[in-house]
Structure 1
Amino acid sequence: MSPRQITVLGECVADAFVEPAGSASELALRVLPGGGPANTAVALARLGTPARFLTRLSGDVFGRLFRAHLEASGVDLSHAVAATEPSTLAVAELDSEGQAAFSFHAQNTADWQWSTAELAGVDLSATSCVHTGSLALVREPGAAAVEEFLAAAAPLATVSIDPNVRPLLVRPEVYRARLAHWCALADVLRLSEDDLGLLLPDTPPEQACDIWHAAGARLVVITQGARGALVSLDGERARMSAVATRVVDTVGAGDSFTAGLLHHLGTRGLLGGRLTGLRLSDVTDACRFATQVAALTCSVAGPNPPWQNQLAAPATAVGT
């Protein structure tokens, strides 16, 4: 089955990676287009799902980079807003395991300036799923407009949210205060183990799933890096294995996992409503596919998700 359109809403971020320079008084940066929602939209389009991206694109050098990258990946930008504000920049330093620590330059940038009017005319009649999350849901002044859009979208399409907590920009308690409301809007909640630690400190993953189910989210997936993922559908759970790969870095891996999950569900006609017909076996199949997509993203530098034809080779599962 050909998947229906998925609409993604959120930010683009210029990921600047620190590289060796000629002297101690110089700093070299390699800039790649990123941002959680943008990465998810790119991954969806490359996998073969029609992906429309609602974003605010600056006209600066980074904004032009974003636009070229998104269009080259096949992302529909017909509803992107031409913004006058500058782009958001994140400087990333990688540790020995490829994990990135970011510092953000995001004051008054384009991504957070959403207005209700900019989102009011978006037609969702062809959309099976709306995915959003990350900073667009919490950064003012646009966060309220994004939440209004989700509330309007919920009766029309499956809603997927990835909180993607960024404590350097927004205090975790701001996310905590809104999370129950997001679960009431969402059908799918995908988050990382790090997110869990910031949102519900010292809470076992299974207990966290039950809390979020009680708030309204039917499907909760907690990704745990090399240890795989915990899947919970209305409290019925499974643990998924990760996929062995040579890790260059982990930037964009979670976003690619989300794209793989939604793409797989979409190709089987399981998106478009409240997931009432979804079975745990459907979710575990989708997560196996998603782990392959994430592993391939980890095997290359930066947020560079795979194309559909790169998934032909069999993957090797590792224990959780």
Structure 2
Amino acid sequence: MASTTPYDLVAIGRVGVDLYPLQHGITLDEARTFEKFLGGSAATVTVGAARHGRRAALVSATADDAFGRFVHRELLQLGVDDAYLQTISGGPPTPVTFCEFFPPDRFPRWFYRYPTAPDLLITPESLPLQAIREARAFWSTLTGLSQQPSRAAHAAAREERGRTPLTMLDLGYLPAFWLDRDHDADAARAEARSRAWEALPYATVAVGNLEECELVTGESDPRRAARALLAAGVELAVVTQGRRGVLAMTPSEEVFVDGFPVTVVNGLGAGDAFQAALVHGLLAGWDLARVTHFANVAGALVAGRLECSTAMPTTAEVQALLSDVELADGAL
């Protein structure tokens, strides 16, 4: 049962099951064995926040099926409140995502969400509006705007929350969510850009990789992209660039952090770990340099692990690695 105490983080969006092959460097048709994990960016971000000791809840939906039961069980075991995870009967199944692993930078995914998925069927009437309004941080992603009725639900959540501090928009763009019979690649990108600009006036924090920020702002330079996001009204713009580092910018401050060296196993969960750590640091009131360094290392840690949700690091794990680096650099 959900607590009456405000959550540190409420996230809305995608949830499902990741089925990852245990053989790497080969295609799915050659893979022999798989392991299942809790998946979906919104779910993973809440797990990441919980690993940092934050009270987190997920607003989403599954089907009334075996994978749906798995999702509920895993969320609870990983410390996330599932009180707002709906179960939708008679509709599409809980989605499954497959991936191939070609480290360090190629991880093609296949989303089995046909013709839609339960997490895109959440409605404005089903939202926990009080929890969304009172949460210390609220997180949503661009993919939740790709279909109705999810798009309307996200709009209702934005209206309820307004521009409350730490209202976060993930600019993650997954083409498979936008491509349909009415949208070729260019039309899909244009639609996603339009939906992002509808959501940005409500966001105080926007986060995306360079390609995603370019899609939204039209700017391929990280600093120009960050400035464009600030001009849209956000108070903190973060542009991640993988091994090339992270740029974080406010109207009065700019921080750039070099990429953290890691042997990449799976790059798919790094962004979620980064954003969960960003939530933790911002809630803790850390300065921009500290929170950016912390989030950068959290993302790198997960990039060096196979899974996403259960790979989310604890605060102690991140801090230990940061301390090692500071000692090596002579900073302490």
TM-score range, shorter chain: 0.7 to 0.9
User: Among 303, 313, 319, which residue is 1:298 paired with?
Assistant: 303
Once the two structures are overlaid, the 10-residue window that deviates more, 229-238 or 288-297, is 229-238
TM-score scaled to structure 1, two decimals?
0.86
**Aligned-pair distance for 1:201?**
5.2
Which structure: greater strand fraction? 1
Matched, 1:267 2:284: yes
Aligned equivalent of 1:95, options 95, 102, 126: 102
SS of aligned partner of 1:302: coil
1:77 to 77, 82, 90: 82
1:149 aligns to what? 157
Q: Pick one of 37, 43, 49 that aligns with 1:44.
A: 49
Question: Are the equivalent residues in 2 in contact too, given 1:44–1:259 (CA < 8 A)?
Answer: yes
1:312 to partner: Cα distance? 4.3
The verdict on how the C-alpha distance between 1:75 and 1:24 changes in structure 2, with shifts beyond 3 A counting, is closer
Q: Which residue of 2 aligns with 1:105?
A: 112
Tell me, in whole angstroms, the C-alpha distance in 1 between the residues paired with 2:10 and 2:219: 34
Residue 59 of structure 1 pairs with residue 50 of structure 2 = no
The answer to whether the 8 A contact 2:201-2:232 is kept is yes
Match of 1:14 among 13, 17, 37: 17
Shift of 1:246: 2.5
Q: Which residue of 2 aligns with 1:114?
A: 122
Question: Hey, what's the Cα distance between the residues in 1 that align with 2:30 and 2:312?
Answer: 34
Amino acid at match of 2:54: T
Distance 1:83 1:95, change over 3 A: same
- The amino acid of 1:225's aligned partner reads G
Match of 1:237? 254
Q: Matches of 2:163 and 2:131 in 1, distance apart?
A: 13
Q: Give the CA RMSD over aligned residues.
A: 2.6
Are the structure 2 counterparts of residues 25 and 187 from structure 1 closer, same or farther at C-alpha, using a change threshold of 3 Å? Answer: closer
The answer to whether the 8 A contact 2:11-2:138 is kept is: yes
Q: 1:164 is matched with which residue: 172, 191, 206?
A: 172
Structure 1 CA distance for aligned equivalents of residues 118 and 235 of structure 2: 33
Deviation at 1:256, TM superposition (A): 0.7
Q: CA deviation at 1:61?
A: 2.1
Structure 1 unmatched runs, 5+: 271-281
- Which residue identity lines up with residue 258 of structure 2 in the other structure? S
For 2:181, the equivalent position in structure 1 comes to none
Unaligned runs of 5+ in 2: 1-5, 179-187
Deviation at 1:126, TM superposition (A): 4.4
SS in 2 for 1:96: coil
One-letter amino acid of the counterpart of residue 174, structure 2: R
Please name the residue that 2:292 is paired with.
287
Q: Is the 8 A contact 2:107 2:266 kept in 1?
A: yes
CA distance in 2, matches of 1:138, 1:197: 18
Q: CA deviation at 1:127?
A: 1.4
C-alpha displacement of 1:64: 1.8
Matched to 2:313, the amino acid is P
The alignment-based identity, stated in percent, is 22
Flag the structure with higher helix content: 2
> 1:146 and 1:26, CA in 2 relative to 1: closer, same or farther beyond 3 A?
same
- Give distance in 2, aligned partners of 1:207 and 1:258: 21
Query: For each residue in 1:106-158, what CA deviation from the matched residue of structure 2 results, as whole angstroms up to 9, or x when unmatched?
Result: 12210100111101544346411111114212222211221221121125553
Partners of 2:170 and 2:206 within 8 A in 1? yes
Equivalent of residue 178 in structure 1, options 178, 192, 195: 195
- Aligned counterpart in structure 2 of residue 194 of structure 1, from 211, 215, 237: 211
Alpha-carbon contact 1:231-1:237 (below 8 Å) kept: yes
**What is the alpha-carbon distance in structure 2 between the residues aligned to residue 158 and residue 24 of structure 1?**
43
User: Using the alignment, how far apart are the partners of 2:317 and 2:65 within structure 1?
Assistant: 32
Task: Check 1:87–1:211 CA distance in 2 against 1; reply closer, same or farther (3 A cut).
Answer: same
Mapped partners of 1:224, 1:15: distance in 2: 24
Structure 1: distance between partners of 2:263 and 2:229: 33
Residue number in structure 2 paired with 1:246: 263
Q: Deviations over 1:203-223 (max 9, x none)?
A: 212122222212111110011
Q: Is the 8 A contact 2:206 2:238 kept in 1?
A: yes
Deviation at 1:179, TM superposition (A): 1.8
Q: Would you say how many aligned residue pairs link Structure 1 and Structure 2?
A: 304
Question: Partner of 1:275 in structure 2?
Answer: none
